Amino acid sequence: MTSEAELITGCLLHDRIAQRLLYDRYKKAMYTLAYRITGDFDDANDVLQDAFMEVFRHLDQFRGEATLGAWIKQIIVRKSTKKKRIVVWQNVEEDMAESINWGEDDINVAHLETAIFALPDGFRTIFVLAEIEGYTHREIAVMLSISEGTSKSQLFHAKRKLRSMLTSG
Amino acid sequence: MEYNHNTLQKAILKLPLQEPNENIWEEISQKLDEEPLQNALKNLSEYEPDKRLWELIENKSVIRRHSPVAWWYAAAAILIASSIGLWMLQSNKTQIISYSEEIADSRLQISKEQVADYQYQQLKTYCETETLVCNNKDFKQLTQEYEKLRTASEQLKQAMGKYNTEPQLVRQFSIVEQEKADVLNKMAQMI
């Protein structure tokens, strides 16, 4: 098993085997993330390709402040939102008093996936980043150039819509 | 407020992962192979045209406005028109049939590029490396003279059209071509 540091060194030396290993290590997670944000396999293919080209070209700029995976994820998020021209609207009026109850019974995964892809692009992006990828609102705000408040309210509205789709479906 | 958030989280963990096609890596690999070429292409040197080029362009546009060839063309057109008019008048009076035969030198037949122009291009190519002679004042003057003659020749060619049946224009064209050849010879001698 090659360590991440060895992979990075190999990639910096343009070693094609190291590049392939790095790609194989992250391809599934990155492709899934790109697909969940774009909602389209062709777009996810383009994003993955562009993102890994950027990774190999600019790996020397990776400072190791976060994990390599987190660094690549940021590239994927940026490229995916750019590809779909996703705009997250800044909310003016907020009403997050309503409660959302997911119930105690298991949620049907297939229904959940269908419902996620049925969300508007902005809602889906925030939901994927916050709930699936585990980013904080502060991190999302920085990544998408929005306010933390907008990220919170978009997530609330995304969840409310999702819950309503799962109940009616 | 949100209740039973763990139910949602449990379902999220079961969401399927997607795997990209193998051809994605092949495309990435191909692009990586092309990287050195792409980087080299970005660093290709740029070339500055000779300062005289603008002068030539400027001269050409001046020639177009004031060229004596334009007057020759107009004169030739009037001559042709009056010849036809006279011939028609004559033909009404008598029924004499006459014909003439023009023999043109095959070397002066219009082709896309005249031999002299081709040789001139070779001289110009030579001048890109050999600047000492080519920057000589006399040489530059000959170059300008040649360019003027070439423009005149081009305009005559346009006036003659595809079939060059006007003897006057053909004669004029051959004179200009002869002058071009003379200038070119002088330039070649200097080199």
pLDDT of B130: 72
- Residue A100's DSSP bridge partners are B2
Q: Which of B174, B51, B50 is nearest to B109 (CA)?
A: B174
pLDDT of B63: 53
CB–CB of B187/B123 below 8 Å?
A: yes
Predicted TM-score (pTM) of the model is 0.59
Among partner residues B1, B8, B20, which is closest to A131 by beta-carbon distance?
A: B8
Query: CB-based contact (8 Å) between A21 and chain B?
Result: no
Instruction: List chain A residues with CB under 8 Å of B11.
Output: 106-109, 112
Domain boundaries, chain A: 4-83, 109-168
Q: How far is A10 from chain B (nearest CA, A)?
A: 14
Asked if the Cβ–Cβ distance from A45 to B3 is below 8 Å, we say no
CB–CB of A106/B11 below 8 Å?
A: yes
Statement: A109-168 belongs to CATH 1.10.10.10: yes
pLDDT of B99: 65
Banded pLDDT at A73 (limits 50, 70, 90)? very high
CB–CB of A102/B8 below 8 Å?
A: yes
Predicted confidence pLDDT, tens digits, chain B (191 residues): 889 999 999 999 999 999 999 999 999 999 999 988 888 888 887 787 777 777 777 777 655 555 666 677 778 888 888 888 887 776 665 555 666 665 555 555 566 567 778 888 888 887 877 777 788 888 888 888 988 888 888 888 877 776 666 777 788 888 888 888 888 888 888 87
pLDDT of B102: 57
pLDDT of A29: 96
Compute the Cα dihedral for A161, A162, A167, B3 and give only its sign. Answer: negative
The topology (CATH level 3) of A4-83 is Rna Polymerase Sigma Factor; Chain: A (1.10.1740)
Tell me the CA distances in angstroms from A167 to A16, A84, A119, A132, B10, one per residue in order: 49, 28, 15, 20, 17
Which of A15, A22, A28, A52 to mutate: most B Cβ within 10 Å?
Answer: A52
What are the percentages of helix, strand and coil residues in chain B, rounded to 5? 75, 0, 25
Q: Give the CA radius of gyration of chain A.
A: 18
Compute the Cα dihedral for A35, A36, A38, A41 and give only its sign. Answer: positive
pLDDT at A157 over 80: yes
C-alpha span between B180 and B191 (Å, rounded)? 17
pLDDT of A57: 94
Tell me the CA distances in angstroms from B147 to B105, B174, B184, one per residue in order: 23, 16, 11
Q: List, in order, residues 6 or more apart from A11 with CB less than 8 Å away.
A: A18, A19, A22, A55, A56, A59
Query: CB-based contact (8 Å) between A40 and chain B?
Result: no
Q: List, in order, residues 6 or more apart from A137 with CB less than 8 Å away.
A: A130, A148, A151, A152, A155
pLDDT of A33: 97
**What is the rounded end-to-end Cα distance, in angstroms, of chain A?**
45
pLDDT of B1: 80
pLDDT tens for A90-144 read 764 566 778 899 999 999 999 999 999 999 999 999 999 999 999 999 999 999 9
pLDDT at A50 over 80: yes
pLDDT of A105: 92
pLDDT tens for A8-43 read 999 999 999 999 999 999 999 999 999 999 999 999
The mean pLDDT value for A147-160 works out to 93
The predicted complex's ipTM stands at 0.84
Compute the Cα dihedral for B165, B169, B175, B181 and give only its sign. Answer: negative
C-alpha span between A151 and A96 (Å, rounded)? 13
- The token duo for A60 is 């020397």
